[in-house]
Amino acid sequence: MNERVGAGVSSGAVRWILIVGLGIGVVYTLSPLTVLTALAAVVLVRWAGAGSADGERRWVYALLMTAIALRALALAALFATTNHAHTPFGFFFPDEELFVRRSIWMRNIALAIPVHSADFIYVYDEAGATSYLYPLALAHLLLGPSPYGVHLLSAVLYLAGCVVLFRLVRPAFGAPAAGLGFAALLFLPSLFLWSISVLKEPMFFMLMALGAALTVRIARTRSWLLLAGGVAVLIALVFVEQSIREGGLVMVGGGLGTGLLLAWLVQRPRLLVAMAIVGAVAAPIVLTRGTVQDRVVHSLREAAKLNWGHVNSRGYVYTTLSPRIYEDRDTANTMTLHEGARYVANSFVSYVAVPAPWQIQSRSALVFWPEQAMWYALVALVPVGLFVGLRRSPDLACVLAAAAATAIAAVALTSGNIGTLVRHRGLALPYLVWFSVLGWCTVLVHLSDRTRDHADH
Q: What pLDDT score was predicted for residue 19?
A: 58
Q: What is the largest CA-CA distance in the chain?
A: 98
CA atoms within 13 A on the CB side of 156: 17
Question: What's the pLDDT tens digit per position in 137-190?
Answer: 999 999 889 999 999 999 999 999 999 999 999 999 999 999 999 999 999 988
Residue 205 reports pLDDT greater than 90: yes
Residue 208 reports pLDDT greater than 90: yes
215 touches 164 (CB < 8 A):
no
Residue with more model confidence, 391 or 289? 391
Sign of torsion over alpha carbons 154, 158, 164, 166? negative
Residue with more model confidence, 69 or 22? 69
Question: What's the pLDDT tens digit per position in 122-131?
Answer: 888 887 789 9
Residue 25 reports pLDDT greater than 70: no
pLDDT-derived band at 3, boundaries 50, 70, 90: very low
Give CA–CA dist 446/321, Å, rounded. Answer: 42
pLDDT, the chain, mean: 87
The helices-and-strands tally (H runs, E runs) of the chain is: 20, 0
Q: What pLDDT score was predicted for residue 2?
A: 46
148 touches 30 (CB < 8 A):
no
Question: What's the pLDDT tens digit per position in 52-65?
Answer: 888 899 999 999 99
Give CA–CA dist 450/457, Å, rounded. Answer: 11
Residue 98 reports pLDDT greater than 80: yes
DSSP state of 208: H
Residue 23 reports pLDDT greater than 60: no
345 touches 322 (CB < 8 A):
no
Give CA–CA dist 99/285, Å, rounded. Answer: 48
Residue 452 reports pLDDT greater than 80: no
Q: Residue 42: which residues within 8 A CB-CB, separation 6 or more?
A: none
Q: What is the DSSP string of 376-412?
A: HHHHHHHHHHHHHHHHH-HHHHHHHHHHHHHHHHHHH
Predicted TM-score (pTM) of the model is: 0.88
Residue with more model confidence, 287 or 82? 82
Q: What pLDDT score was predicted for residue 6?
A: 46
Q: What is the DSSP string of 78-97?
A: HHHHS-TTT-SS--SSHHHH
332-346, 352-366, 372-386, 394-408: which has the minimum mean pLDDT? 352-366
Residue with more model confidence, 350 or 418? 350
Residues 29-56 as b/e (b if ≥16 CB within 10 A, e otherwise) read: eebbbbbbbbebbeebbeebbeebeeee
Q: What pLDDT score was predicted for residue 106?
A: 93
Residue 5 reports pLDDT greater than 80: no
Mean pLDDT value of segment 333-361: 87
Give CA–CA dist 290/288, Å, rounded. Answer: 6
Q: What pLDDT score was predicted for residue 453?
A: 65
218 touches 234 (CB < 8 A):
yes
DSSP state of 354: P
Mean pLDDT value of segment 189-217: 93
59-68, 77-86, 360-369, 440-449: which has the minimum mean pLDDT? 360-369
